[in-house]
Amino acid sequence: MSFIAGLGNPGPEYAATRHNIGFVLVDRLAARWHAALALEKKFKARLARVEREGKNVILGQPQTFMNDSGEAVGAVGRFYQLPAERILIVVDDADLPLGKLRLRPEGSSGGHHGLESIEQQLGTRGYPRLRLGIGRRSEDHREITAYVLDRFDAAERKTMQEVLDRAIQQVECWLSAGISEAMNKFNGAVTAPPEKGKQ
């Protein structure tokens, strides 16, 4: 069994913001796989269960708010006795340029509070994470709360559609062929929009 959790914040005011790109990818996967996400209070998450190529897969969107994502991820992982390497976290990354994807089998949180929470709950950094680059307004501007909680502009949305299409292929490759092949085939950048300044 595998668990794919996209991180984000619950509520309509956060829908389609940069910080919620993990939620968006899970919604896209659910639609593609004809799976219906539903709130399960005991897990503090919206979950869907589906079979892909003979394998059981859980899709999830923690409903704890981003910084406490580990509560939901940990609850699902413990209940189903999942090894950390079968829990794939999809998350936004402001330190990656807009339009870039990076799948890794493990690593640090990079200051992302959602990943910090998951690491704390799982007791390891050894879980795969798919980072979707959202860029930042400027490299020297570290306070990015307003930026990540804002929505993509038209040019950025076009790029992110390409990113999501590629990320879906990468997740499906991870499920069918493993993380090494998924990294080799899909890590990297799609065509980014013309820069209006530094991303």
Query: Which residues belong to the active site?
Result: 19
Give CA–CA dist 7/45, Å, rounded.
10
CB atoms within 10 A of CB 139: 9
Give CA–CA dist 66/44, Å, rounded.
12
Give CA–CA dist 163/132, Å, rounded.
8
Burial level of 191, CB count in 10 A (0-12/13-18/19+)?
Answer: exposed
Give CA–CA dist 10/76, Å, rounded.
18
